Amino acid sequence: MVEAFEIISGVYCVGGSQLSAPEDASVYLLGDPDELWLIDSGCGPSLPAVLQNVERLGLDPQNIRKVIVTHCHIDHSGGLAELKARINPEIIAHRGDVGALEGRAPQKVAAEFYGLTYHPVQVDTVLEQSQEILYLGPQKITLQHVPGHTPGSIVAWGDFPQGRLLFGQDLHGPLHPNWGSDEKAWRTSLRQLLALEADILAEGHFGVISPAEEVERFIQGFLFG
């Protein structure tokens, strides 16, 4: 296992296949010591390791105020129920994946691919629009609906002093009918993400990609490959 690391000032990677458990997608953390947000939560059993990584950065996991759920698959959402029980952060997800997260569409969380049991969680804030804005202190964070991989897939992005940072989990797919995947919508979403011209991509299974030319090449590789 490798250690949690800082991507840019105030933004960290605290979970993933090399950081917390082989089944985990990347888990990102942003904020300051008084208010922290997570992007996804890992597969579930690894949550203690994720929180320990937060502590090793000198930050208090009890200050995690929000969790932005990029989509419902268990490698991204499996830790939500335990996180809610331990810390009670606000869980934020798009309407398209709320049913799966809350246990009404169990096939859509893809738990069988990982041999794990998904524990449903109530979503506190349901996103309805194509874009919604949140503020972490003065930092503007845009949540953007990017359906395709799942109906409720979202990304988060913001403009930081170091450039535009895109938290884009599972841009590559894959697509599966059991998850409600939609190839046409997925291709449209990838084109929208290209138009963002992000300088840094924090991805779910491919790590952190930069500079902007590499981010563009990465997305185009799936769109046109």
What percent of the chain is modeled with pLDDT above 90? 96
**Could you tell me which residue, 172 or 121, shows the higher pLDDT?**
121
| Rounded mean pLDDT, 25-46 | 97
The whole-number pLDDT of residue 189 equals 97
Statement: residue 225 has pLDDT above 80: no
The whole-number pLDDT of residue 172 equals 86
Residue ranges covered by each domain of the chain: 5-224
Statement: residue 166 has pLDDT above 90: yes
| Rounded mean pLDDT, 50-74 | 98
What percent of the chain is modeled with pLDDT above 70? 100
* Sheet with 11-15, edge to edge strand ranges: 5-8, 11-15, 27-32, 35-39, 64-68, 90-94, 125-127
| 109, two tokens | 């969380």
Of the pLDDT bands very low, low, confident and very high (cuts 50, 70, 90), residue 135 is very high
Q: What mean pLDDT, rounded, does the chain reach?
A: 97
The whole-number pLDDT of residue 2 equals 85
The pairing of strands 11-15 and 5-8 is antiparallel
Does 120 sit behind a cis peptide bond, omega within 30 degrees of 0 on the bond before it? no
Statement: residue 101 has pLDDT above 80: yes
Statement: residue 1 has pLDDT above 80: no
Alpha carbon of residue 94 to chain centroid? 12
Q: How far apart are CA 186 and CA 219, in angstroms?
A: 12
Looking at CATH, the fold of the domain delimited by 5-224 is given as: Metallo-beta-lactamase; Chain A (3.60.15)
Question: Which is it for the CA torsion 73, 28, 208, 55, positive or negative?
Answer: negative
